Amino acid sequence: MPDPHHLAPQRTPLTEVHESLGASMTDFAGWRMPLRYGSETAEHNAVRSAAGLFDLSHMGELFVSGAGAAAALDYALVGEPSALAPGRARYTMICAPDGGIIDDLIVYRLADDEFLIVANAANARTVAGELTARAASFAATVDDRTRDYALIAIQGPRSAGILARLTDVDLTQVRYYASYPASVADATVLLARTGYTGEDGFEIFSAPQDAVQIWTALTEAGHGEGLVPAGLAARDSLRLEAGMPLYGNELGPEITPYDAGLGRVVKLEKAGDFVGRAALAERARAVPSRVLVGLIGQTRRVPRHGYAVLRDGAPCGTVTSGAPSPTLGKPIAMAYVAAHALPANDAASGRNEAASDGSDGRLAVDIRGSAEPVTLASLPFYRRSS
């Protein structure tokens, strides 16, 4: 008999579209999502050279509103949302009292007293609960409106040109990490210049009933421009090349922002207390014991999540993400490596920078019993031309 406690994965407003396109579907964070439509490498390359269309409707949309919303978020998050002007967005994190990362987030300030928090699908419910608890002593309310939104992303160097045909917003005036109320394909949306691919692009928050209309219009506008639908596999290889962390890989409850090389998102100087301040202040003063680094494989074998990093044959770290890089033509990975195994300048600073003196030549990754040589690489592996 079926397990009555096992819930079927949720379907996004675009699931039928993905199935009609022949997508390989997978269960991801409680949702039925497209993994790929054909070749994930072709989808990856299309985003780098033209444009890709992504369904991100599994992400969590949490609204914090009220006269005390800004103060509540300053207390709840490591960043300083109160410093955001309406219409602007920022990458931030919510941490536990011990400094461990509960989730990484994008916070959009929609108005003086209203914020949209976008959380990872697997953590949305946890983040909603944490925000509710942390906002309890402020004049603010937290509302999980994930089911009220579809989220479509168009990413790549041709994305602005394609989208411009369908919107009333002058995209040349839309800054990076900004959001605007807009019309796209005759639907009312929140349009943001944000993304997770390392390319220019936009994310479109719409009512679920408008998702198919918007997706279809973008597909038609991108016909002849190289736009393709892209799945989770391409999204992962794109974000890896761009050196962007993934919760559950580079980020998690045993990792602080400083461990991940993201101490810049922690605003220790902001007024007032915030959850995790004491632990994070202590961590900011400490010499790092491990550093998140980039690795480039010197053979065709691919380092994968969980594989051991070796120095002179001895374990010194663990791969957090790894994949073939279509752009570099080599396997790449991110890994946490013990500071003592790195060149002294990188270990002391916690920087994700490549050694230039060849001192990383004894690094390898244990791939199914074979020590495959790797070299340190600066993160990100890929940076788009401006």
Ordered domains of the chain (ranges, CATH): 10-57+149-241 (3.30.1360.120), 60-147 (3.30.70.1400), 288-377 (2.40.30.110)
Report how far apart, in Å, the C-alpha atoms of 217 and of each of 165, 169, 221, 227, 266 are: 10, 16, 6, 12, 40
The phi and psi torsions of 26 (rounded to 5 degrees) equal -145, 155
Extract the tokens encoding 51: 């444009």
- Numbers of helices and strands, H then E, in the chain: 9, 20
Per-residue pLDDT of the chain (386 residues; tens, 9 = 90+): 444 445 799 999 999 999 999 999 999 999 999 999 999 999 999 999 999 999 999 999 999 999 999 999 999 999 999 999 999 999 999 999 999 999 999 999 999 999 999 999 999 999 999 999 999 999 999 999 999 999 999 999 999 999 999 999 999 999 999 999 999 999 999 999 999 999 999 999 999 999 999 999 999 999 999 999 999 999 999 999 999 999 999 999 999 999 999 999 999 999 999 999 999 999 999 999 999 999 999 999 999 999 999 999 999 999 999 999 999 999 999 999 999 999 865 544 444 444 433 345 589 999 999 999 999 999 999 999 86
Give the span between the Cα atoms of 90 and 281, in whole angstroms: 21
Please tell me what DSSP assigns to residue 146. Answer: G
Place of tokens 């007024």: 271
CB 214 within 8 A of CB 222: no
